[in-house]
A = this chain, B = another copy of it.
């Protein structure tokens, strides 16, 4: 399967790119608004993977080209760039392309970080609203700490709730998540349940800020 990580040059995108490239046979394509940055990061990921004995090809393109012909397009961009990123690649999406959104809207005040959902109810639903008709949208990978995810030396053991109204798309993304070692996808229901998933991320940041010895936290439900 070909996975395009738009905004795959930073943060959560780097972690997902490295883990999928390392743990699975999926083809990983890095997208960025800046094609040089995308190519540079793709080379960096290849070097990192090569140093661990994984001879895999990671390519980098401008977002529109990365999304073109991808089976799964991951919007690994900040919440405030979700809508414009979907619009930039809209012509490359169709009913056969699954759009995946891991972004969370947050704000910060003196007390800590807070969930700050857009008018759509959640960033996941906002991405679905922006998507062309018929393109299946899946929410996943919202609560993963970017730093440890991108560190292949770090053993991980986290859950990631998966949300979708399209059962087939949910199933495919669930299997993609399951392909990453130490990640357990859990069904969180339809897109309308995304707010409760996204709200976990500011809590993880608050807990890391307030407790000595805890940082870059994920979550496990049991």
Contact = CB atoms under 8 A, between A and B. Distances in A.
Interface of A: 109-115, 157, 161, 186-193, 195-197, 199-200, 202-204, 206-207, 209-211, 214, 217-222
Given A112-B193, A115-B195, A189-B209, 15 more contacts: A111-B192, A112-B192, A113-B193, A113-B196, A114-B192, A114-B196, A186-B207, A186-B211, A186-B214, A187-B211, A188-B203, A188-B206, A193-B206, A196-B206, A199-B203
Nearest to A185: B211
A117 to B, nearest CB: 10
Protomer copies: 2
Contacts of A197: 203
A196 B202 contact: yes
Which of A112, A115, A196 has most chain B Cβ within 10 Å?
A196
Contacts of A189: 111-112, 206, 209-210
Nearest to A209: B189
B217 A221 contact: yes
A219 B217 contact: no
A189 B200 CA distance: 15
Nearest to A216: B222
A206 to B, nearest CB: 5
A110 B103 CA distance: 24
Contacts of A218: 221-222
A110 B210 CA distance: 36
B203 A161 contact: yes
A182 B199 CA distance: 25
A111 to B, nearest CB: 4
Closest 8 CB pairs of A and B: A111-B192, A187-B210, A196-B203, A199-B199, A220-B220, A111-B190, A112-B189, A112-B193
9 contacts: A111-B192, A113-B193, A114-B193, A187-B211, A188-B203, A196-B202, A199-B200, A217-B221, A220-B221
